[in-house]
Structure 1
């Protein structure tokens, strides 16, 4: 069954959504949308380093993403504004990555595949990495769910409960870095943030609890993957962008529906 490239591509998309959905909820609640985009931009530098050192793309992207997550988390505790840090690091790492790629004259690289994804080229090894990373992130999120939720709602209350908000923020940023590393093959650098944010934002008006919002986001993300795969097959469009287009269409349709419903609910 895994010899069918469409099956592998669909499983890869569902694997990414499994991890991205709950993290996307925290991104929406904490207003960290720019962090996802910034980490994704840094992934270009990871791609360049991987090719220069002849190592796995996943390893290089994960290393750079984790380094950026840790750096932003540490510097934000020293008085730097988060949006300023992300702006500096996102654009700097993207620029350095693109310059580094230009020096790789002896390496053939399809930059578009890394910018917008190449889900149809996912192999068995890629599938193992995607699902392994996604299950790791999902397990970490479930383990720290209450702590992450409490620090998101009220940092002072978290302190009173013996939790360290800075540590929980670091855990969240590390999990986001892993998602970026596994998602780059599916939707690419420029669309990773969309896969994190749009399903969660779509699910928010219809969710009474955080847990329901996370599950609804996962369902909407899975629907976007399946719809994007079908649309790409039918109309011969780029698969990664088509998945994001379907997700955005769902957001637009359900946002209009949410406005017409009395007594709308928001999880957080």
Structure 2
């Protein structure tokens, strides 16, 4: 399989036997030329504040235990966050807000996330995204989302035995995730549920007798939302705690 081929995700993801194999294959993907050029150019130019960093500049895999009961789904890594550090929501202000809230409700070992190897552990939570490379202007194209989709489909299939709830950060992530859930076998209602902060939808599991999946909407932890007060720390903690309780995870209130 050629990593530069647009078919690489569709060929490589389904056969991954576990999340470790999936993540290893994902980090070598070069299927989307525009995203490859952008992530690598960003690593060459860098920001002055990160001049001494050796950027990750590859697709960023999901982060968290393989038996997670709760998943957090964003949209794509940030150019100088995940694309720099190699871990989702790590090294940028969006991540600062997210991990502080996760720690506050008892789902993370510490309130900060600065780099891989900083000691952060997630408790029953996995953080991932529909697009695994940093896109220009934080806007992947519809085709890039489609090309990247098999990675998240397989990730959710592998998490299915333990996954009970998902929090989706932002409307773009919500729109990207719904077809992924369908591809992973979950039964979507018609019409499709609309995004909203605090929205909650119960999805029937792929197989009879399996527990349902609880889908929650939350405004994205972008500076545009957190600096303006559209998303406050209390609002974020409330959604995370509600989803964690549905997933059967212990929560600090």
TM score, norm. by length of structure 2? 0.28
Q: Which has the higher contact order (CA 8 A, sep 6+)?
A: 1
TM score, norm. by length of structure 1? 0.27
The structure that is strand-richer by fraction is: 2
- Of structures 1 and 2, the larger Rg is shown by 1
